């Protein structure tokens, strides 16, 4: 830098020769940049950014409406199906939280999601962990580059080795559905006019309570055989709350808390209970579904499924009160979460159900399932799958 400064008066004093030399130097510099040799300049920019805003490990609390997205998890290099993470990563780059090369290789920012929500599934309390530059007004800047149906509601510093998936003790989901889903198949009332009786609600909750504990859920997902250890999952709570009216439609919310869930597991758990309550399948199918034989289980629509909360009890107990880190309980963000759900998640569920009748259309398919299917052929197929099954490494996929 000193050489360039002392060269300047010489150029003025010596005239054309030095001027041509300086011009040639500038042209060569521009040519180098055009040929992609500007990495050093970018490196300097990044070093200055690191000095000003050091990279730190954080968690982001996310809320989003999943309609129109092909799930949470990003498929780098594939633009055919847009995901929630596509939007998030783009916003992180545009807001100056991460460099562009981290968007291309998410491992560089130690990115990890707590749950891989499926196509169309929403979230009110998704948590991702990653390393970012802690720029000023970081939440405001990220959200300004996100669509209104995706919000970052909170940010907290965490330990350097924190992993949002591995550090998660449990996940709570909700499933909002019109109560006519529980009407007996011989019921003659119109869908919108159906009202859930206390007797039917009690029956629903008796069936849902059977899921509590550890069971073999190989029949509630795909690509897992009956002897795959990862098919065993622990359910802590599952119940259906009292119904309520919204937009002329009676709705109910099923809550389920478990350590982790496999792809489609929750939707199949709910689908099976609906099939029993409506009279298509006998109650005995519940116990049979956890055995080794293949059982045909219907999968409820994804529209009403919402990731409500992810739990970090062990982490909070160890680090939440150490004076350096915050507890990951998000109590202060509850109002924002509820406001987002009322503005973006519930209206989407209700409006889509009214317009597209996804639940009504799915209910019409329940009669074609073979709830007594226990043929040897099914079991042979299932054991073949077992040999090729891949573990979802304990993560939540629904």
Q: For residues 126 and 119, what is the distance between their CA atoms, to the nearest angstrom?
A: 15
3-state SS assignment for residue 115 = strand
Q: For residues 103 and 85, what is the distance between their CA atoms, to the nearest angstrom?
A: 10
Tokens 């009202």 -> residue: 195
Q: For residues 378 and 384, what is the distance between their CA atoms, to the nearest angstrom?
A: 10
Q: Let me know: does 148 contact 68? Beta carbons within 8 Å.
A: no
What are the two backbone dihedrals, phi and then psi, of residue 276, each rounded to the nearest 5 degrees?
-75, -45
Q: For residues 262 and 272, what is the distance between their CA atoms, to the nearest angstrom?
A: 16
| Pairing state between β 249-258 and 170-178 | antiparallel
Q: Which of 38, 45, 105, 118 is catalytic?
A: 118
* H or E segment and range at residue 202: helix 198-209
Confirm whether 396 is a catalytic residue. Answer: no
Q: Where are the beta strands (DSSP E) in the chain?
A: 55-64, 112-113, 122-133, 150-157, 170-178, 213-216, 232-240, 244-246, 249-258, 305-311
Residue 253, token pair as written in the block: 């919310």
Measured in whole angstroms, the distance separating CA 333 from the mean position of its chain's CA atoms is 18
- What amino acid positions are annotated as catalytic residues? 118
């Amino acid at each position: 830098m000193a050489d360039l400064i002392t060269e300047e008066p010489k150029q003025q004093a010596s005239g054309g020769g030095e001027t041509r030399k300086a011009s040639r130097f500038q042209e060569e510099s521009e040519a180098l940049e055009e040929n992609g040799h500007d990495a050093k300049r970018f490196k300097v920019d990044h070093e200055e950014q690191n000095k000003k805003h050091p990279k730190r490990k954080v968690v982001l609390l996310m809320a989003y409406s999943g309609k129109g997205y092909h799930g949470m998890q990003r498929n780098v290099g594939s633009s055919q199906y847009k995901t929630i993470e596509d939007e998030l990563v783009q916003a992180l780059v545009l807001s100056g939280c991460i460099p562009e090369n981290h968007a291309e290789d998410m491992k560089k920012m130690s990115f990890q999601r707590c749950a891989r929500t499926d196509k169309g599934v929403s979230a009110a309390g998704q948590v991702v962990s990653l390393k970012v530059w802690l720029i000023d007004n970081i939440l405001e800047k990220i959200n300004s580059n996100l669509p209104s149906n995706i919000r970052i509601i909170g940010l907290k510093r965490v330990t350097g080795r924190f992993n949002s998936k591995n550090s998660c003790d449990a996940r709570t989901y909700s499933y909002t559905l019109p109560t006519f889903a529980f009407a007996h198949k011989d019921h003659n009332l119109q869908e919108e006019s159906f009202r859930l009786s206390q007797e039917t609600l009690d029956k629903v909750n008796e069936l849902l309570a059977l899921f509590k504990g550890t069971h073999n859920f190989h029949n509630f997902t795909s690509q897992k055989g009956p002897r795959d250890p990862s098919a065993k999952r622990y359910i802590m709570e599952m119940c259906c709350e009292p119904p309520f009216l919204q937009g002329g439609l009676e709705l109910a919310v099923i809550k389920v808390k478990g350590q982790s869930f496999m792809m489609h597991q929750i939707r199949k758990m709910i689908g099976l209970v609906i099939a029993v309550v409506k009279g298509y399948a006998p109650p005995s199918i519940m116990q049979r579904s956890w055995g080794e034989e293949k059982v045909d289980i219907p999968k409820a629509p994804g529209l009403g499924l919402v990731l409500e909360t992810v739990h970090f009890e062990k982490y909070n107990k160890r680090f939440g009160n150490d004076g350096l880190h915050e507890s990951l309980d998000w109590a202060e963000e509850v109002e924002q979460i509820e406001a987002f759900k009322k503005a973006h998640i519930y209206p989407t569920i209700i409006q889509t159900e009214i317009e597209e009748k996804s639940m009504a259309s799915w209910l019409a398919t329940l009669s074609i399932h073979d709830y007594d299917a226990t043929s040897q052929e099914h079991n042979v197929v299932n054991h073949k799958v077992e040999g090729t099954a891949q573990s979802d490494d304990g993560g939540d996929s629904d």
